[in-house]
Structure 1
Amino acid sequence: MRSVKGTEALPAGVELYSLTADGTALLTSRTGRGDLLDAGALLPFIDRGQHARYLIGDALTSPERPSNATYKLGLMRGHSAFTPHAHGGEHFVLSLGYAACGLYDDERQEAVTVRLTPGVMIRIPALLPHSFVNRGAGRLLILAANTGFGIDHEDYAITAEEAERRATAEPSKNRATAEPSNNGTALDYPALAKALRAVGSAPSPGVMSWRERAAQAARRIAVRLEGSA
């Protein structure tokens, strides 16, 4: 087995993704190198001003138009947060920077916050209310995988406002449309809205600590020493 170096040595169809905690994302293939975050390839992501680059699936993925899952690279502005929401399917998020995830604990009936650092991935079950926060001043990259839903599906991200709207809808529409564990039973939208409000009103997770800022500076030095892929 020989070791290869340089873009021209890559087999056809193979791609390298260079992602850093500083928010850069480069795609390298046999044909050259490009920016994964090119504006023309980005789609809206939960809130205005947030974006994603789909790697598997697309915005129209759904149980009726399946691609099994969507896998995308999300881009968050500095010191920003997503509106609290719940997904119709389970959700995995890998943080490439300094973030935090607000989650609703139904057993304790309260919101909790989990601080995330580069390389930490979190699994969030279907329909569990949560939010995501960028604690850093620079842009944050996250890798997000959702089972069965693209961002255009009505159950991709249910907000408190949407849950409240559905709570007043006709009974035939007031049902969980995509969560097998519900066994087709009606979803308690008022309770979901209340939990989402609790996540939204939880204390801020704060910004990066001085230890994290020092670690970030060290990572930048490491990236320069290692060179790009």
Structure 2
Amino acid sequence: MAEPDGFLPFIDPAQRARYFIGDAATSPERPSNATFKLGVVSPHSAFTPHAHGGEHFVLSLGYASCGLYDLDTERGVRVALTPGTLIRIPAMMPHSFGNRAGNPLLILAANTGYGIDHEDYAITAPAAEARGAENGAFPALAKALRALEADNGPETMTWRERIAGRLRRAAHRLEARR
């Protein structure tokens, strides 16, 4: 159910998203073939690790982190994202996004084939474990998601990033006075 401002819950109850293209019911059975949405990630928080049935692209408009599962080393790795960074997540790649800043993080996410109401939109470790009996790929997915859960803090911004953020805000104020 949409909130008055058009935002919907987004993977976790504390996170929100608003669809620009497609909707929450997008699926292979009801295709718009893609969704494009604005996500709002709460300060100093991270999404529950998950995987999607389709690939997606995420543009970070702030200081984020992306936890990814490395199949070769069988452990999670962190990628720091700064404002303007675009990352591609292949289908079924275990991952999580975190907000490293003290203000809400805006992300633009484009997904292929699935809206947030579809069971394959965000497969979490408990969902993968429950589906494991019916599909042999899900136990390995559940193991990877549990590995990401073990280290799913949003991290914090570096001192350089904090200074760069202040300089960006100062530049914006100076430019706005024209």
TM-based fold match above 0.5: yes
- How many residues are paired up? 175
Higher RCO (C-alpha 8 Å, min separation 6):
2
2:60 alignment counterpart? 95
Deviation of 1:202 after TM superposition, in Å, equals 2.5
- Is the 8 Å Cα contact of residues 46 and 153 (structure 2) preserved in structure 1? no
Deviation of 1:206 after TM superposition, in Å, equals 2.4
- Is the 8 Å Cα contact of residues 46 and 154 (structure 2) preserved in structure 1? no
1:83 is the counterpart of 2:32 = no
2:165 alignment counterpart? 216
TM-score (norm 1): 0.73
| Structure with bigger gyration radius | 1
In 2, Cα distance between equivalents of 1:85 and 1:146:
14
Aligned-partner residue type, residue 214 of structure 1: I
2:144 alignment counterpart? 195
Provide structure 2 residue ranges, at least 5 long, that are not aligned to the other structure.
Answer: none
- Taking every aligned residue pair, what percent have the same amino acid on both sides? 66
In 2, Cα distance between equivalents of 1:133 and 1:76:
8
Aligned pairs for 1:155-174 within 5 A = 155-168=120-133, 171=134, 174=135
Q: Secondary structure at the match of 2:46?
A: coil
Q: Secondary structure at the match of 2:5?
A: helix
Aligned pairs for 1:112-131 within 5 A = 112-131=77-96
In 1, Cα distance between equivalents of 2:29 and 2:152:
39
RMSD, matched Cα? 1.6
Provide structure 1 residue ranges, at least 5 long, that are not aligned to the other structure.
Answer: 1-37, 175-186
Aligned-partner residue type, residue 165 of structure 1: A
Deviation of 1:203 after TM superposition, in Å, equals 6.5
